[in-house]
Structure 1
């Protein structure tokens, strides 16, 4: 497949994602934009990656808001067991032991495939200091330790939303900014796979992709000329290997 053809495919996916977003088909927009993001990464097309981040973030923001709205009505649903092949109702879910992060991820992905807006958090056993470890599983594993809810069996929605923010903040803070930019992009992409409901994580990926695009275009080639963009652009403006473990220092 030529670079130009792949670029055209990416532009088509981005157009389809934008159309789905305009129609308020948020799950479809999220699926299309996420597919385009990973396709652009495989092509080293960091300029398109940057452009994809914001519509992907918006689709996820809208989907999360629908989940939080449902949680406002029905409360946070606490789970300690799973139903095989379950398609959940819209809302907010807290998975507790003996369930693990992989169980929470399966429910989130099943809901996305079924166009059901959900937000899912998994907590692990409380620490000796009575902190509440929360975890998200994906191409990276992200953990943060936060204060537990006042009532662990009936956590309120404000605690749930705070926990989502803390996971995303930890995902960003754990990236080594001393790495080469391409490795930072991959680190952020892996964390976004685990923690998709965090706006600043999308923004961090967008900014890093733009910086890497500038660096790539400005880098001289062996013949002395500047390196061209990886894919022809109209001028408008999965990771291999094992999962990475991300943990806070608390």
Structure 2
């Protein structure tokens, strides 16, 4: 975490965010929820800067075919549209991050019969929310930001709804981790993850395996 803090303090926000994610995974493997709780806030701050940089660019790329994908993605907004699916957007973001770039990425699925756009985020679990499309089907930064907020809010609800009242707190943490890649820029989601970690501090390790419903297919509409 020292390297993540140094990266954050020197304005290397993508490096800080990625190091926080790695530290979060390591801490979970060690059942160290106190450390996970401490990691969440610098991760939130790093993601906040990355999100705002992309929105401040004012550029939203609609990616509807392979040739729409720029060779060098910048710190801008990208809306993947059919026939791409959420898993494609996840791969794009991870590849861009590995190359040192921080795009802000969302995916929309085909328009529904009610003339809404399903917005989807893919992680170990899929998060999906349906929104009214932007005017003239042309996203602007305000619409893009709102879509991201709505997606993350749904991710929080999904994570909390996955648990039963008597589930170990560690399982609730895992329910959030299952969805973190679906909405990594969402501040309230990271805050809810931090609260779940705090609730798990000092609690006994689960003695049974966590069981949840069938995972959504990230390639489906």
TM-score interval, normalised by the smaller of the two chains: 0.7 to 0.9
Number of aligned residue pairs: give it.
Answer: 208
Say which is worse superposed, 88-97 or 176-185, in terms of deviation. 176-185
Residue of structure 1 equivalent to 2:142: 158
Which of 12, 18, 25 is residue 12 of structure 2 equivalent to? Answer: 25
Residue 245 of structure 1 pairs with residue 210 of structure 2: no
Aligned residue for 1:174, secondary structure, equals helix
Which of 81, 96, 104 is residue 81 of structure 2 equivalent to? Answer: 96
How much has 1:109 moved relative to structure 2? 1.2
Q: 2:35 & 2:60 partners in 1: Cα distance? A: 37
Q: Which runs of 5 or more structure 1 residues have no equivalent in the other structure?
A: 1-13, 218-238
Aligned residue for 2:135, secondary structure, equals coil
Q: Which has the larger radius of gyration?
A: 1
| Deviation by residue 1:11-69 (Cα, 9 ceiling, x = unmatched) | xxx11100000010011111111000000001100000000011111111111111111
Which of 80, 84, 90 is residue 105 of structure 1 equivalent to? Answer: 90
Aligned residue for 1:94, secondary structure, equals strand
Aligned residue for 1:130, secondary structure, equals coil
Q: Which runs of 5 or more structure 2 residues have no equivalent in the other structure?
A: none
Residue 180 of structure 1 pairs with residue 164 of structure 2: no
Assess if the C-alpha contact under 8 Å between 1:136 and 1:142 holds in 2: yes
Residue of structure 1 equivalent to 2:54: 67
Give TM-score, length-normalised by structure 2. Answer: 0.87
Assess if the C-alpha contact under 8 Å between 2:55 and 2:76 holds in 1: yes
Q: 1:79 & 1:58 partners in 2: Cα distance? A: 28
Alignment RMSD, CA only?
A: 2.4
| Deviation by residue 1:87-124 (Cα, 9 ceiling, x = unmatched) | 31221011110111111111211222222231011000
